[in-house]
Structure 1
Amino acid sequence: VTHIPYRGGSPALLDLRAGRIQAMFQAVLEALPSLGDNATRGLAISSAERSTLLPDIPPVADTLPGFDVVFWQGLFAPAGTPAPILAKLGTALRTATEDTVLRARMAEQGVTITTGDAAMLHRTLADETAMWGKLIREASIRPE
């Protein structure tokens, strides 16, 4: 497998359709329009669970147990931000993400909202760093 860097999903999709590349990873929401015209076929979902938007496409984990690569976001603040400010931000974020309209809109886009605290974010960062670090070492990946 040869990695080919693209500036976005659209140029990669054009090359896929033209036969210049054989496969690509693309965000589910971004892939939906191209999957509807039968010119592109979805092979697998990178999360461990099936996508609610593409329920007929199996997860990679069905073939490679333990494979679970998902897009996630975290809210960060500069180091040294006072604890009361962090607490206020955390409360505002939890309040916003509990909104049923927001949750419904995000679900329409295939996004599951999970909120936690700073400790959960630190654990997520540590887990991701360990997972990707191991992969980088095992594959002998070097910076270019």
Structure 2
Amino acid sequence: MPKDTTITRRALLQCAAWSGAAAAIHPAAAAAAGADAPYPSRPVTWVIPFAPGGATGRLSVLICDRLTRRLGQAFVLDHRPGAGGNVATKSVAGAAPDGYTILATSTANVINASRESMPGPDSSGELVPVAGIARLPLLLLVNKELPVKTLAEFLAYARANPGKLSVGSAGPGTVQLLSAELFRTLGGISWSVVQYRGSGPALIDLASGHIHAMFDNTAAAVDLLRSGKVRALAVSTRDRAAAFPDIPPVADVLPAFETSGFYGVAVPHGTPQPIVELLNREINAALLDPEISKQFAEVGATPIPGDTGIYAATYRAEIMHWRKLVPQTSAKN
């Protein structure tokens, strides 16, 4: 995995500098180059590629609320699910490059970019990177009625009941599906995949018993997990998640297994650089906001601050990581 899951002292100091710079900028002074009105002078559409209830939406709410308060215009969430995030990605890539349509990127973007020519920040030239937001571990979740309480018990149960288990997917090309397929391949098990238009609807069906299991990001799963409606058997990262220290890594049983979710922000190619830089400063400042930091920590999210170049480099590293990992999954979607 790309080694950016912790915040270096240098990154924090740089982020603090951005925070101070952002605080000094009044919205009325943040005009785009050559624009007649300051940016933003009207509501901004923040496009989320999945149905409500997932990690992308949960993280976006926190950032958009702060941007709205800081910049004086509403940053409005617009869920556009479909095709594992590609519907939203293509729609934003084709939008006017004026800063008023923003894409919340996720691991699905880098997975798709690793497999085919899809719009992505700093890859196809149709989108440009703005800022990273967070990295999240995933949890292997099961319905609480499934008669297993450990990862070893789950594997034994799956092997004893080939093809009888159903696993939820947030859509083709998503980290949820690819994590499940990698687990299936390494674990030598078989199950049926049920496709959803985001992890939110899949989690609802998992809690109600319509499906047996799924991988999902900690931010999306935390409420159901802490309410006891689902059970977590393992975490997808090699190390235990600080927010869930009692949950062991999948790698303890399947040493080759490791995945995580990666989230950021992009805008259409051609968006004026002053707007890109303003959004980058404000998002980085948001990552230092004590309330946002607290809420990130509660759901196991690790902020990934940095300038646009750092985000683009991380994005490229993620593409290469998944380009090596995807063939191991035997995934058909």
By the TM > 0.5 criterion, same fold? Answer: yes
CA distance in 2, matches of 1:59, 1:140: 22
- 1:70 Cα shift? 1.7
Instruction: Give the strand-richer structure, 1 or 2.
Output: 2
Q: Evaluate the alpha carbon distance shift between residue 31 and residue 100 of structure 1 in structure 2; reply closer, same or farther with a 3 A threshold.
A: closer
Say which of 236, 239, 245 aligns to 1:46.
Answer: 236
Q: Deviations over 1:110-143 (max 9, x none)?
A: 2221211222222222222223233333445445
Q: Which residue of 2 aligns with 1:116?
A: 306
Say whether residues 1:15 and 2:182 are aligned partners. Answer: no
Say which of 280, 283, 292 aligns to 1:102.
Answer: 292
Q: Which residue of 2 aligns with 1:61?
A: 251
The letter for the 2-side match of 1:119 is G
The letter for the 2-side match of 1:11 is D
Q: Evaluate the alpha carbon distance shift between residue 85 and residue 61 of structure 1 in structure 2; reply closer, same or farther with a 3 A threshold.
A: same
- 1:31 Cα shift? 4.7
Q: Evaluate the alpha carbon distance shift between residue 26 and residue 136 of structure 1 in structure 2; reply closer, same or farther with a 3 A threshold.
A: closer
> Are the counterparts in 2 of residues 47 and 70 from structure 1 also a CA contact under 8 Å?
yes
- 1:40 Cα shift? 4.7
Alignment TM-score, normalising by the size of structure 2:
0.36
Say which of 278, 288, 300 aligns to 1:88.
Answer: 278
Q: Deviations over 1:7-65 (max 9, x none)?
A: 4211133337xxx63x321333425534654x754221012331233211112233444
Q: Which has the higher contact order (CA 8 A, sep 6+)?
A: 2
The letter for the 2-side match of 1:33 is L
Q: Which residue of 2 aligns with 1:135?
A: 325
Unaligned runs of 5+ in 2: 1-189
Alignment TM-score, normalising by the size of structure 1:
0.74
Q: Evaluate the alpha carbon distance shift between residue 53 and residue 9 of structure 1 in structure 2; reply closer, same or farther with a 3 A threshold.
A: same
Count of residue correspondences: 138
Q: Evaluate the alpha carbon distance shift between residue 139 and residue 33 of structure 1 in structure 2; reply closer, same or farther with a 3 A threshold.
A: closer
The letter for the 1-side match of 2:207 is L
The letter for the 2-side match of 1:10 is I
> Are the counterparts in 2 of residues 35 and 42 from structure 1 also a CA contact under 8 Å?
no
- SS of corresponding position for 1:74: strand
- 1:77 Cα shift? 1.3
CA distance in 2, matches of 1:90, 1:25: 30
CA distance in 1, matches of 2:215, 2:251: 15
> Are the counterparts in 1 of residues 206 and 230 from structure 2 also a CA contact under 8 Å?
no
**Runs of 4+ off more than 6 Å:** none
> Are the counterparts in 2 of residues 28 and 110 from structure 1 also a CA contact under 8 Å?
yes
Q: Which residue of 1 aligns with 2:265?
A: 75
